Amino acid sequence: MSSVNNKHLPRHLIVDAKKCKALCSCGYEHKIPSVKVVSTEDAYSVLAKDCAKIYAKESVLLLDDENTHLAAGALVSELLEKRSLAYQLVRLPGDSVATDKLAEQIYDLSTGHSLIIAVGAGTINDLGKYVSDKRGIPYWSVPTAPSMNGYTSSIAGIKVKGVKRTLPALPPQFIYVDPQAIQNAPLKLRQAGFCDVLAKSVSDLDWQTESLLFNGTYCSLPSAIVNDSESTYINHPEKIHQGDPEAVLGLFEGLLYSGVAMSLAGSSAPASGGEHLISHFLDMRENLTGIEPNLHGIQVGAGVVLSAVCYQKLAATEEKELKNRAKKIFEADVRNIPSVWGNLASEVEKQFLKKRDRLLQLDAALSINWQKLKVLFSKVGTPDFFIDLIRRTGLEMTLPSLGISKDEFFLAAISARTIRDRITVLDISAHTGILKGAAKETIEMLS
Ligand SMILES: [Zn+2]
Ligand SMILES: [Zn+2]
């Protein structure tokens, strides 16, 4: 695997099929994403040249927002113009959210275009990827920040009827990276990316736990793919704060591989577990509370701390302490959905009911596997370890600094598991009776 910041190697496949085969532990055929990364100072010129080569007689939809237009979109559009290419620029407001409604509008605007180029991270990338997949046309990405891991993944995060979902969407054919643009990204975006990629340390354990309990789908390949680049940013988080080029580009590379890990797994499981549900919960509750969510990755960071507290408590729980309470807990959770979710309740309930059977099996499944699970649980870093890493990036990481009240965080901790059908550490913690205590402890640590 070559480094994306190697300026002498402008074009390469982001993963190597042979290496994947060697690292796979499940034996199933993994779909290897064919994303190509063009990382060079003149990446946008290469993009325009490629575009002229393939789409000279067709038209292209260029998607950006107010912020990413300044960072890169303006230059990309200028270069397309210079080559007399037909394109339509759609510039969204800077605070846009990737909703099904907005996706529909962009879908309509994409009529007659042969390619979508999206300039930006989170929302812009999700929308560009999702709409081009729907439309059945290729997608090219121009990243502007190392803020999240969605560039290379085969899913798009879209709010559907108010519920945050991860929907299948083909990854981009090409990613055009100007290393300078990534390095220049605001500190807050770099901190968000750091927390997003840190999630792997707990989400991979969530996946192993669900796999051991129910479906045996775990594979060590996705995690191994990310390991290679981890040392460049995990060992020196303060360098993310300082804007050290090697660390920031290393972080960006880690995020690209984290997205590839999801593509290889065929789901978001390797990079998104209970900690991500905390972030999704806060995003979704905006409609009900009016509280504007923070950046995805930063909210995920608070979720990582909660997951680590849960794992620490689970590792200290003895088998004899497990009680048969699956039915009682499940019924209480279903009863609580309307008060937490208001007009979103029926959509949330639909997602939650999908894991009903697995939740009801927890009584038996946990006690049979508890000793093996405890070995897994004890592998997770301590909450202090994660808080220290995050704070060394210069991020305060306290609930007040994130604009989250103690009550809202507590509610997120105990209710977020209802919004997705995957079993995570939050479900196991609720079942073993440690979740409320873990929530309170996390609130204390982040006060
Ligand atoms: Zn495998
Ligand atoms: Zn994420």
The whole-number pLDDT of residue 5 equals 45
- 231 vs 118, higher pLDDT: 118
Mean pLDDT of 74-79: 98
The whole-number pLDDT of residue 2 equals 39
Question: Which of 221, 238, 250, 244 has its CA nearest to residue 146?
Answer: 250
User: What is the number of other CB atoms lying within 10 angstroms of the CB of residue 3?
Assistant: 16
Ligand 2 center to residue 58 CA distance, Å?
A: 34
Mean pLDDT of 308-332: 97
The one-letter code for the residue type at 42 is D
Strand partners, 177: 39
Ligand 2 center to residue 148 CA distance, Å?
A: 6
The ligand that comes nearest to the alpha carbon of residue 197 is 2
Q: What percent of the chain has pLDDT over 70?
A: 97
pLDDT digits (tens, 9 = 90+) for 161-181: 988 888 999 999 999 999 999
Q: Quote the tokens at residue 199.
A: 């999630």
Whether pLDDT at 362 is above 80? yes
Whether pLDDT at 1 is above 90? no
If pLDDT is split at 50, 70 and 90, which confidence band does 6 have?
Answer: very low
Measured between its terminal Cα atoms, the distance across the chain in Å is: 42
Whether pLDDT at 3 is above 70? no
The whole-number pLDDT of residue 199 equals 95
The whole-number pLDDT of residue 9 equals 37
In Å, how far are 74, 88, 162, 297, 298 from 66, measured between CA atoms? 10, 16, 24, 21, 22
List of domains in the chain: 11-184 (3.40.50.1970), 201-217+269-445 (1.20.1090)
Alpha-carbon distance of 176 to 109, in angstroms, equals 23
Whether pLDDT at 14 is above 80? no
Mean pLDDT of 51-55: 96
Alpha-carbon distance of 273 to 423, in angstroms, equals 8
The ligand that comes nearest to the alpha carbon of residue 218 is 1
Strand partners, 39: 177
Ligand 1 center to residue 220 CA distance, Å?
A: 7
Q: Contacts by 133-138 with C-beta closer than 8 Å and gap 24+? A: 133/168, 133/169, 133/170, 134/103, 134/107, 134/169, 135/107, 135/110, 137/110, 137/113, 138/114, 138/172, 138/173
Whether pLDDT at 263 is above 60? yes
The ligand that comes nearest to the alpha carbon of residue 203 is 2
Alpha-carbon distance of 343 to 245, in angstroms, equals 46
If pLDDT is split at 50, 70 and 90, which confidence band does 230 have?
Answer: confident
Residue 404 neighbours by CB under 8 Å, 6+ apart:
282, 291, 294, 299, 302, 412
Strand partners, 140: 117, 174
User: What is the number of other CB atoms lying within 10 angstroms of the CB of residue 306?
Assistant: 31
Mean pLDDT of 359-387: 97
Ligand 2 center to residue 166 CA distance, Å?
A: 11
The count of C-alpha atoms lying within 13 angstroms of the C-alpha of 328, restricted to the half-sphere facing its C-beta, is 8
Question: Which of 289, 328, 11, 56 has its CA nearest to residue 162?
Answer: 289
The whole-number pLDDT of residue 17 equals 86
The whole-number pLDDT of residue 11 equals 59
Inter-residue contact 309 to 386 (CB < 8 Å): no
- 34 vs 119, higher pLDDT: 119
Ligand 1 center to residue 222 CA distance, Å?
A: 8
Over its C-alpha atoms, the chain yields an Rg (Å, rounded) of 21
The whole-number pLDDT of residue 13 equals 63
The ligand that comes nearest to the alpha carbon of residue 224 is 1
The ligand that comes nearest to the alpha carbon of residue 147 is 2
Ligand 2 center to residue 184 CA distance, Å?
A: 21
pLDDT digits (tens, 9 = 90+) for 130-147: 999 999 999 999 999 999
